[in-house]
Structure 1
Amino acid sequence: GPVVAACQDIIVLIPQWLIIILIIGAHYAIVFHLEVPGCPMGYLGPGGIQDNGDFRRCVGGATGYVDRMILGVNHMYQNPTENEVYKSGAFEPEGIVGCLLSVFQVFLGVQAGTTLTFYQEWKDRLKHWLAWGTASGIIGAILCLASKEEGWIPVNKNLWSLSFVLVTSSFAFFLLSACYFLIDVKFWWSGKPFFYPGMNATIMFVGHEVAYNLFPWHWSVGAMNTHFMQLIEALWGTGLKNKNKFEDKGEHLRNVKNGEVEKSAVAAHAWSEKYLIDTKASLIKQIEKQKELTVWGKIHIQK
């Protein structure tokens, strides 16, 4: 029926979805029902000096407790963001419990890729991605009550909370839809300069580790203690790293107008068909050769 046809990309991943649901359930049970000595049940705060220091050793609640018990304090991140404000001590923002929901977030990416595989029409792909973005955004907003720090499950990157996963995944689905429409459907944009960092992620990471605190990538005006100023600096650094990667938009549009993109697509399609034909012929030869070897082996054994 039409409902089944519209949910093919979900149905094919039902076994994986069952595992993901179990992972989410395990995360919920640990975070909200594990007893942590000296801490309230389901505590999600930074500990330290917050609340007059009543929960000084409760940073991250059960999430931090599990990491301290299994990893040990010396194997955790010693200077987390909450330590700067609340003097909370070591906390691992990418620890054992937080990784459970990072698995869920990665799986949402798998779901997006499955949609790309199952549906050939661009409109169908966009409909599904936009539906996923809307659904995850609504559920995430409900969990955090559409607030910055409130709700049943607040948005918290350090804890990798469920609302954080859903809200950021919602933005990712919408961004994917926009990029797909602009780049692959309308050919209005080539994706530059952003695919350069994506194709050279290791170089970007090493370069950032070496030069993140050096001019001209890094600079400061005043205290630099607002999100706005840090955003400006981050955008400047990102743009500077890619300053030579921009493509002339007018030239790109002329190429599209002249049909060069279409010609390239036709050529690529012809090449892929030839490759498939050659591969099929090669496989047939290998199968025939294997049959000959099998027959020869049987004769040899009989002798």
Structure 2
Amino acid sequence: MILVTGASGQLGHLVISSLLAKGVAASEIVAAVRSPEKASVLTAQGVVVRKADYTDLASLKAAMTGVKRVVLVSSSEVGQRAVQHQNVIDAAKEAGVELIAYTSILHADTSPLALAEEHVATETALKASGVPHVLLRNGWYSENYTMSAGMAVEHGAVLGSAGVGKYSTAARADYAEAAAVAITSENQAGKVYELAGDEAFTLAQYASYIADISGKAVVYQDLPEAEYAKVLVQVGLPEGFANILADSDVGASKGGLFDDSKTLSKLIGRPTTPIQDSIKVALS
């Protein structure tokens, strides 16, 4: 059986969809979720739904019953991830899991992004555990930006602090498919995949794509990190998360979210989803 953590989340749900598309039987997939009652769609598909909370080691151990492989989708709770992921690793080790596939961050060991710290801690914990594992170092999801494409059209501007830094983004579904491939393939233990989109762009280019697709004037406005974080708070983001996003933009300006190896498209056997396609979906 293959267990997917955070299975009701955006990435986890897509990983399960990819596993099903690859022909994995629904009865062989365990969706580990905090609130099983919110996973009725998965239950209806025949997927095994089990309650499991990153903060509750006992629940994780119970969820691991009969499980041989685990897709450890990184927790969304920044600042608590290292401890939460350690719980999953400990439960998997006790269960005798044969392989963990962990969704880390692009070039984690050299990344200038503050977000990388907890990913590095988790990678270190995996190594110390002795559990065979494969690292899926995911680049930026296109949806991280396209979810606000409508706002960019409305205000005529894309804001950021990335300067001319390049983003090698891919759709969340592309990364999910990569996780499904890795967890169902043989000889994955010890591998490190630096996963990113085939085509990179600057935020100025991204703004021009939105303009072309929407038919509206949209430009990129580069802001100092502190000012960008302040704007994000003003539009409703929590201060801590706003600071993380602003830091990530600065990290992108230093090359932290660029990769041209095309490892992702090689792994999934097709080109990654162009950012223009994701923009079209967001604006439709």
If each structure's strand is expressed as a fraction of its own residues, which one has the higher value?
Answer: 2
TM range (shorter): under 0.3
Q: TM-score if structure 1 supplies the norm length?
A: 0.20
If each structure's helix is expressed as a fraction of its own residues, which one has the higher value?
Answer: 1
Q: TM-score if structure 2 supplies the norm length?
A: 0.21
Q: Say which one has the larger Rg.
A: 1
